[in-house]
Amino acid sequence: MPTSQSAIFRLGLRAHEHLEFDLRPQATADAIRAACATLANGLGVQALVVGFSDRLWRLLAPGDQVPAHLAALAPIRGSAGLMPVHQHDLWLWLQDSGPDLNLDGARRAIATLEPVLQLVEDTQGYVYRDGRDLTGFVDGTENPAPDEAAAVAIVADGPGVGGSFALVQRWRHDLRHFEVLPVVEQERTFGRTKPDSMELPDLPANSHVARVVVKTADGELKIWRRSVPWGNATANGLQFVAFSADPQRFVRMLERMFGASPDHAQDRLLDFSRPETGALYFVPSTEALALLAT
């Protein structure tokens, strides 16, 4: 079976940088493939994930590597308003022990891709304390165990086998608004206790946990989350990154958050944080990526 990009599951690196590019109108498929040869070498960082939009992957890849559900992220409108979408063509996620190392890799990527792809988003993130969001709550508690993550995140068979779908969103927090709440209300917003991330026994229906934990007749819809905070003291939030073998899981969760599901309930977290970017990418197997580069 083809091998997934290992950096999807690489834990422990505290510095992160996310680059998103748009395809230049004059770029040819051959020129893009030549530029991708550099990406296959890892850019000199400890971990690198490479993801493609549906239109770019269809342009570059053979038909047996195009998954059936490959499509751009669609906007969602519900009782909480409109979820923004800014679908770009190439996403690079650099991970290393420090931001200086990611910076060197990012500059190499930008210089190499400049003739065919224009940089439009550059977001630097970091691990905060013991893996918490800037709100103070533990992030990723609902993740599957690491030894079960591949079964959740990786396409098991058919076109695109060994690849994964990635949802990438930059959320901006309103921490001043959130932090004036008593801790008990903060916990009811998330649906978990703040010190130890235990699910509340009387889970509010509009809490974040209640909205994103989706249960069906076949069981809970799981995704593999790899989010980190971004920003400084005056502007900050969460760079949300999640992987799934089926992109429809993301759609179900986002519809429930934004009040576009049948009950029209919305996630209370949206009172304190909102996405300002959003895109869906296909992250091909290492073999498919290497073949593309050659």
Tokens of 249: 């899981």
Reading the block at residue 240, the tokens are: 């949300």
**At 139, which amino acid appears?**
D
- Roughly what angle, to the nearest 10 degrees, separates helices 29-39 and 99-113? 160
The number of helix segments (H) and strand segments (E) in the chain equals: 9, 14
Residue 58 and residue 125: Cα distance in Å, rounded? 30
Closest C-alpha among 187, 182, 197 to residue 138: 197
Q: How far apart are the first and last CA of the chain?
A: 20
DSSP letters of 102-146?
Answer: HHHHHHHHHHHHTTTEEEEEEEEEE--TTTB-TTSSBS-TTPPPG
Q: Which of 89, 96, 133, 139 is catalytic?
A: 139
139 is annotated as an active-site residue? yes
Q: Which two tokens stand for residue 206?
A: 């509009």
Active site residues: 139
